[in-house]
């Protein structure tokens, strides 16, 4: 699947240390979620209000985003606890699909969900991405003078690539083989921090000039009143060579004990209502539904990077392993 197809406008649709929070209801739907807590809670509350289905949920820490939950789901494969996985990084869904943890989900909504936003087997469904960005302090830097390509930011701080979206981004960048060979060695001398939010804070504190991070972490810092902004660098100058947009993904767990409730939750996650909630939240996720996009002109995806996600998944572990070994040998 290519990401230029992935973000094609939709037609109208009818329709580690792991943090655990729940309503202590044995009848509730159990959701494992790697999205930020403050975003997830609002969505869960809206779902319960609309359906009267309560939710027990298990979240991940900022530093271990997605990774710990994926490992837990694989470990629980034969005796699943979760009914649904809401992942903030598509690589988590691909890992679970490869491990046989996911069950196809066919509903009136998912069947109409565009093929460009789901896998052919109906195991996962993509929605409301955020962008990979370069964060900077506008009180220090002049936006018009900043480089507009990713390859100029090898000195930018980045989050530990073993967890979260940074590793996914590096794996994507590795597909530009010649450029990445020149880019990667420079990362050895670059500050590697615990998570994307930490890289943004490092810019705010003046410890680094730039950070490779996600748009939602910049938006969240802006909401707290910090002097921080971002640009959307390109990977190359051709059409489909813009920045990387990483989607949220929702999946049905094989053997889920609350199968029908889980399907109702997946339908809800693909609704315009959730797209609006996520776009209005501090994370300001980019809506994929054209009708919702019209309501958020500042959240338009600009020439998204073309990505073959399955190819990225195949090389991600090797890319991260090589990078970590390089960083280790340099210290």
**pLDDT for position 196:** 93
pTM above 0.95, yes or no: no
In a domain, 88, yes or no: yes
In a domain, 60, yes or no: yes
CA atoms within 13 A on the CB side of 308: 7
- Cβ-based neighbours of 222, under 8 Å, separated by 6 or more: 228, 229
**221 and 74 both lie in a single domain:** no
* Nearest of 244, 156, 165, 234 to residue 200 by alpha carbon: 156
| Euclidean distance between CA atoms 99 and 43, whole angstroms | 28
Which residues pair with residue 87 across a beta bridge? 249
Number of domains in the chain: 2
**pLDDT for position 18:** 41
Mean of the pLDDT values across residues 147-160?
96
pLDDT tens digits for 184-210? 998 888 889 989 999 999 999 999 999
**pLDDT for position 19:** 43
| Euclidean distance between CA atoms 94 and 328, whole angstroms | 28
Mean of the pLDDT values across residues 278-290?
94
**195 and 319 both lie in a single domain:** yes
pLDDT tens digits for 299-318? 999 899 988 899 999 999 99
pLDDT tens digits for 110-121? 999 988 899 999
**67 and 87 both lie in a single domain:** yes
Which residues pair with residue 251 across a beta bridge? 85, 124
13 has pLDDT over 70: no
**125 and 139 both lie in a single domain:** no
**pLDDT for position 72:** 95
CB 304 within 8 A of CB 323: no
Q: What angle do CA 302, 92, 24 make, to 5 degrees?
A: 115
Q: What band does 25 get if pLDDT is binned at 50, 70 and 90? A: low
Mean of the pLDDT values across residues 251-258?
96
**Residue 126 DSSP class:** E
**17 and 114 both lie in a single domain:** yes
In a domain, 305, yes or no: no
4 has pLDDT over 70: no
**208 and 319 both lie in a single domain:** yes
CATH number at residue 226: 3.40.190.10
**8 and 112 both lie in a single domain:** yes
Full domain range(s) for residue 124: 3-129+247-299
């Amino acid at each position: 699947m290519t990401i230029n197809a992935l973000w094609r406008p939709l037609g109208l649709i009818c329709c580690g240390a792991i943090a655990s929070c729940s309503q202590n209801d044995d009848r509730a739907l159990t959701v494992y979620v790697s999205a930020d807590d403050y975003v997830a809670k609002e969505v869960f509350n809206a779902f319960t209000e609309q359906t009267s289905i309560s939710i027990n949920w298990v979240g991940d820490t900022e530093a271990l985003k997605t990774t710990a939950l994926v490992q837990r789901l694989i470990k629980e494969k034969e005796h699943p606890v979760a009914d649904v996985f809401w992942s903030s990084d598509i690589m988590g869904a691909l890992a679970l699909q490869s491990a046989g943890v996911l069950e196809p989900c066919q509903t009136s909504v998912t069947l109409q969900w565009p093929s460009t936003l789901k896998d052919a087997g109906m195991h996962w469904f993509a929605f409301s991405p955020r962008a990979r960005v370069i964060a900077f302090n506008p009180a220090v830097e002049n936006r018009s003078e900043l480089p507009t390509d990713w390859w100029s930011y090898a000195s930018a701080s980045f989050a530990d690539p073993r967890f979260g979206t940074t590793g996914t981004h590096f794996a994507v960048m590795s597909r530009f083989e010649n450029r990445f060979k020149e880019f990667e060695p420079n990362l050895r001398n670059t500050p590697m921090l615990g998570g994307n939010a930490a890289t943004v804070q490092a810019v705010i504190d003046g410890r680094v000039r730039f950070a490779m991070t996600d748009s939602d972490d910049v938006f969240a810092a802006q909401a707290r009143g910090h002097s921080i902004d971002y640009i959307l660098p390109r990977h190359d100058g051709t059409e489909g060579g813009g920045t990387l947009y990483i989607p949220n993904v929702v999946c049905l767990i094989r053997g889920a004990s609350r199968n029908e409730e889980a399907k109702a939750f997946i339908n809800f996650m693909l609704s315009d209502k959730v797209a609006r909630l996520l776009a209005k939240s501090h994370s300001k996720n980019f809506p994929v539904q054209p009708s919702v996009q019209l309501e958020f002109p500042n959240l338009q995806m600009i020439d998204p990077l073309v990505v073959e996600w399955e190819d990225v998944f195949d090389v991600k572990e090797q890319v991260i392993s090589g990078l970590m070994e390089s960083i280790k040998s340099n210290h």
